[in-house]
Amino acid sequence: MRILIYGLFLFCFALFLHLIIWKVCIPKRQAKTLFQILIGILIIGLVVLEKLSPYFLIFGLTPPSRVIECLHISLFYSSLAIAYLITYSAIEVDSPSLIMMMAIAKTGSKGLDRKKFEQTMTNDILIMPRIRDLVIDKMIYLEVDRYRLSTKGLIVARIFVYYRKILIAGKGG
C-alpha cells in the first residue's frame, strides 16, 4: 500500500507542478519540459522520502524501509509518467483527423459542403503545424530550401520504420 500511496503522491505532485508551469508560461518544447518535470519529481521525491522519512510517521505513514520498495515506487511512478507522456502528446496538438472532424462538427446536422471542406483543409492547417513542431523538437531542420532529418529525427524515423516492418504494417495515418 505504501508503494501506491507514495507513487501516486509523487505523480500527482508532478501533475500539479506541470499545471502551474503551463499556467505561467507554456514552454516551446512541451514534451521535453514535461519529461524533465516528471524525472525531476521522481529523483527529488525519492531523496525527500529518504531524508524526511522520520517525519512521515507523524502522519501515520510508514516510509519505505528498503531499497526494493523505492525501486517499486520508481517503477510504478515511471509507468504512470510514461503513460501520461504518451497521452499528452495526443492532446498537445490536434491531429489532422481531429481538425477535420471538429470542422464538420461545427456545422451541426446540416453538414459541411464538400468543396468548402476541401478549400479550408489546406496544408497550412493540416501539415505546417506538425512541421513547425518537428523543427522545434529538433527532429528536422531547414537547410536553404530543404527540410532534412537531424540525427535525432533519423533515429526516431528508423525506430518506426523497423517497428512497422516487424508488424508487417502497411502505410497508414
Question: Over the stretch 12-37, which tens digit does the pLDDT of each residue have?
Answer: 999 999 999 999 998 888 888 999 99
Using DSSP's 3-state secondary structure scheme, residue 113 falls into: coil
Q: What percent of the chain has pLDDT over 90?
A: 36
In the block, cell 497550412 appears at 124
For 47-62, write each residue's pLDDT tens digit: 888 777 666 666 666 7
CB 148 within 8 A of CB 140: yes
Query: How far apart are alpha carbons 138 and 72 in whole angstroms?
Result: 34
Is 0.85 surpassed by the pTM of this model? Answer: no
